[in-house]
Amino acid sequence: MKRYVAQGYDLPFLKNAATGGDKKWSIKEKLLLGLTPGQYLAQFVRNPFNWLFLLIFMAGLPILIGRFYYGLGWATHGSYDYPWGLFLGWGLFVMVPLSASGFMLGTTVEVFGRDDFKPIERLALLNGLLGYLFAVIFLQVDLGQPWRLIYPMFVSLGPAAVLFLVAWHVATYLSVQVAELLPALAEWGNWPGLKKFIRSMILGLTISGIILSTLHQGALGALFTYAPGKVHPLWYSAPFQWFYFFCSSIFAGLSMLIVVSTLCKRFLSWRCDRRFLDNLDQQTMGLAKGAVLALVTYLAIKIIAIAHAENWGYLVTGWGAYYLLEISVGVLVPIVLYTKALRNNLPGLARFAALITVFGIALNRINTALVAFNWNLYQEIPHWREVIISITVYTLYIVTYRFILYRLPILYQIKVKS
Amino acid sequence: MKNLLDRRKFLKGGLASGVLASVLGTGKKASAEHSFEGYPDSMGVLVDLSKCIGCRTCEAACNKEQELPAPDKPFDDMSVFDEIRHGQKRRTSEKAYTVVNRYDVPGHDGPVFRKFQCNHCNEPGCLSSCFVNAYTKTPEGAVIYNEKVCVGCRTCMIACPFYVPAYQYSSPINPVIKKCKMCYDTRLKFGRPPACVEACPQEVMTFGKRRDLIKLGHERIQGNPGKYIDHIYGEKEVGGTAWMYLSSVPFSEVGFNTELGDQPIINYVKEFLTVVPMVLTIWPALFTGFHLLARRKENQKTTTPSDRNA
């Protein structure tokens, strides 16, 4: 695509935006970015990432199908002792906090009235929506009988269970996020009525988003409170577990947004408009500020929880060393880097800090769900098919993400005549 | 005019989220506050480990009663006691709802055998964690499971402190949880003891009302000074279980987890469950309040950012 832009090629919407025109876009402009099928194919073939993705799909899709044909036992190391593996450890427990950006930025812009974050709001919402959507897809891969997913909603209700809350809230929140992004779809499809309708209830949507997010982010942590003694005490806290997960989802979502926006700037600059690109450094610093506050809060509550349960003794064991490593990499280093970036106004350093933070949050969730789980039994290593399926589904996520960023007005604005 | 409009919008938004919250809020409530002592007349089994000789008759009886697939090794093959997987002794599975393991306890004359199956908790972790309500604690004392509604999330396996529920990972079409049901539908419902209890040649197990069994257990401990550890495992563990154990060696030496505590599993989750209604009720008001504060400042200024309502 970059080459077409360099050749001065007319991108759909861009020209339109410049003239403020109101002509209807054709299917070609909507889906093929205004290229002819031949041109589209040419740019598709030229992009090395497409070849990588193709390779992953060719290897991964047969195994993914095999999981449904031969069962979970064939694809995973799920066992009586380790019921959960990578599909949930990575797909649910890591994807969901990294998708907290939607409600964070929704709150910032719509509730706190920080309009200066508007250029990045839609990317945050999209990041949230897709993260949740694919967390559900990961869940579907993991469930023994995925076709019964709606059972907790309509067939047989267990309302006192934490997972019941997660199921309901994720389902509701998904619809909220779809609604929050409908304006982008409405602009793309040129349906002004739809946009107006959503705008009229955006505050209600955003606030329900905050409630649902607080609760289901926390609930994912609370799922582990069912397993006292199974999860290592340093990763377990009945009173604080939900807050660990909620609080860390704040900096996880913000950091993920920094990472994604950096990728967009690097690889999709042709699709970004000046409004997005020119504001990005300043917005990155704003997000970094939020992230570092949440990080400090998280660190404090971690220390309080250790004191509360008098777990100091565990810190000098091997598990303690590993715990301290996780805290250092995932919390302390990001705090130092973010602070340095903020004090000296170094967006590049903030982006690096964000990357470390994302890595740190993944480490924490994997540790809670898999590594520190059954700490007094034995360590389970995921099956190679489990790894391949996880990579395949994640690639599907990236491809979907990119497909939408190419087209909908997420990174750029369509000027509509009002 | 602008101001009025905004306020109306704000009220509408607040109301909508409030309604949404209250709709979603129904249900995830209450379980928080009461404490359940178990059904008064529920049945149980007292297992006296000191009597068990490890003949595996109970395993065979269970296999027959529950119509389970044939075992990998016949029930008279005692080499199974030496099996170790992942550093663990044999455990219950989708093909075996109960297993007996042998333990060589230092200082004890001869091996000690321990029968193991679902303990049928008074307040089961599996039951409280299940989001489709597949588990039921019957008044007779059994914890039974309805495979018709199971989605296969396997949270019950996470929540069971005894690692009992066994999932059929090998089945692609209809994988379900398999575990001991205390012979509920074939025996317990009609007041009869489970198959394993009846089959035991050594009378290791006593079937009766849980209340009476606790009394019996303590009498046995007192009546034989020095013979038993002064503890009935399961009387209080995780809120009490229907299956309880007497042992002449420390429980930790024969595969029991002695660090479970007396709290039922649901108590660890209550801390979060009490947060739920608070967030549902406080958040809408709090954040609409924030919104009002943030926008008020702006309304006083005469300029409106062009981005607004874009």
Per-residue confidence in pLDDT tens, chain A, 418 aa: 666 666 666 665 555 444 444 555 666 667 777 777 778 788 888 888 889 999 999 999 999 999 999 988 888 888 899 999 899 999 999 999 999 998 889 888 888 888 888 888 889 999 999 999 999 999 999 998 888 888 888 888 888 888 888 888 888 888 888 888 888 888 877 777 788 888 788 888 888 888 888 888 999 999 999 999 899 999 998 889 999 999 999 999 999 999 999 999 988 888 888 888 888 999 999 999 999 999 999 999 999 999 988 889 888 899 999 999 999 999 999 999 999 999 999 999 999 999 999 999 999 999 999 999 988 888 888 889 999 999 999 999 999 999 999 888 888 887 654 4
User: Do the domain assignments include residue A297?
Assistant: yes
pLDDT band at B29 (very low <50, low <70, confident <90, very high): very low
Cα torsion through A251, A254, A256, A257, rounded to 10: 180
Query: In this predicted complex, what is the ipTM?
Result: 0.86
Q: Residue A190: left if φ>0, alpha if ψ -120 to 50, beta else—which one? A: left
Query: What is the pLDDT at residue B310?
Result: 42
Question: Of B56, B191, B164, which is closest to residue B64 (Cα–Cα)?
Answer: B56
Assigned token pair, A371: 């590594």
Q: What is the CATH number of the domain that holds A378?
A: 1.20.1630.10
- Hey, are the CB atoms on B268 and A225 less than 8 Å from each other? yes
Kind and range of the H or E run holding A388: helix A384-407
Query: What is the pLDDT at residue B179?
Result: 94
Query: What is the pLDDT at residue A8?
Result: 61
Span B78-113, pLDDT tens digits = 888 888 888 888 999 999 999 999 999 888 888 999
pLDDT at B12 exceeding the cut of 80? no
Residue labelled with tokens 């993705």: A53
Mean pLDDT of chain B: 84
Domain that holds residue A52: 47-407
Query: What is the pLDDT at residue B28?
Result: 41
Query: What is the pLDDT at residue B20?
Result: 47
- Hey, are the CB atoms on B129 and A163 less than 8 Å from each other? yes
Using CB atoms, which residue from B153, B170, B268 is nearest to A73? B170
A170 and A132 Cβ atoms separated by less than 8 Å: yes
Mean pLDDT of B253-276: 90
Query: What is the pLDDT at residue B96?
Result: 92
Q: Residue A237: left if φ>0, alpha if ψ -120 to 50, beta else—which one? A: beta
User: Do the domain assignments include residue A416?
Assistant: no
Give the distance from residue B88's alpha carbon to the nearest chain A alpha carbon, in angstroms.
8
- Hey, are the CB atoms on B283 and A222 less than 8 Å from each other? no
How many Å apart are CA A279 and CA A266, to the nearest integer? 15
Q: What are phi and psi of A227, to 5 degrees?
A: -120, 55
Give the distance from residue A411's alpha carbon to the nearest chain B alpha carbon, in angstroms.
15
- For the residues of A173-223, what is the DSSP string, one character each? HHHHHHHHHHHHHHHHHT-HHHHHHHHTTHHHHHHHHHHHHHHHHHHHHHG
Query: What is the pLDDT at residue A401?
Result: 93
- Hey, are the CB atoms on A378 and B153 less than 8 Å from each other? no
Span B153-184, pLDDT tens digits = 999 999 999 999 999 998 888 999 999 999 99
Residues in A closer than 8 angstroms to B276, CB to CB, are 165, 215
Any CB–CB contact under 8 A between B305 and chain A? Answer: yes
Query: What is the pLDDT at residue A319?
Result: 92
Please give the residue that has the higher pLDDT: either B11 or A361: A361
pLDDT at B21 exceeding the cut of 60? no
Query: What is the pLDDT at residue B271?
Result: 86
How many Å apart are CA A46 and CA A42, to the nearest integer? 6
Any CB–CB contact under 8 A between B292 and chain A? Answer: no
Residues in B closer than 8 angstroms to A172, CB to CB, are 20, 24
Query: What is the pLDDT at residue A12?
Result: 59
User: Do the domain assignments include residue A1?
Assistant: no
Contacts of B256 (CB under 8 A, 6+ apart): B114, B233, B245, B247
pLDDT at B214 exceeding the cut of 70? yes
Chain B, residues 225-264, CB within 8 A of chain A, namely 257, 259-261
Chosen for mutation from B126, B131, B307 (greatest number of chain A CBs closer than 10 Å) is B131
- Hey, are the CB atoms on B172 and A226 less than 8 Å from each other? no
User: Do the domain assignments include residue A62?
Assistant: yes
Q: What are phi and psi of B206, to 5 degrees?
A: -115, 125
Chosen for mutation from A211, A216, A235 (greatest number of chain B CBs closer than 10 Å) is A211
Give the distance from residue A91's alpha carbon to the nearest chain B alpha carbon, in angstroms.
14
Assign domain B43-262 one CATH number from 3.40.50.150, 3.40.50.2300, 3.30.70.20, 2.40.50.140: 3.30.70.20
For helices B265-300 and A241-267, angle between their N-to-C axes, nearest 10 degrees: 50
Any CB–CB contact under 8 A between B302 and chain A? Answer: no
Give the distance from residue B27's alpha carbon to the nearest chain A alpha carbon, in angstroms.
5
A213 and A253 Cβ atoms separated by less than 8 Å: no
- Hey, are the CB atoms on B170 and A226 less than 8 Å from each other? no
pLDDT band at B292 (very low <50, low <70, confident <90, very high): confident
Could you give the residue ranges of the DSSP H alpha helices within A268-346? 274-309, 318-327, 333-344
Span B105-136, pLDDT tens digits = 888 888 999 999 999 999 999 999 999 999 99
Any CB–CB contact under 8 A between B21 and chain A? Answer: yes
pLDDT band at B63 (very low <50, low <70, confident <90, very high): very high
* Annotated domain spans of chain B: 43-262
Query: What is the pLDDT at residue B8?
Result: 46
Mean pLDDT of B139-154: 92
User: Do the domain assignments include residue A32?
Assistant: no
User: Do the domain assignments include residue A175?
Assistant: yes
User: Do the domain assignments include residue A16?
Assistant: no
- Number of domains, chain A: 1
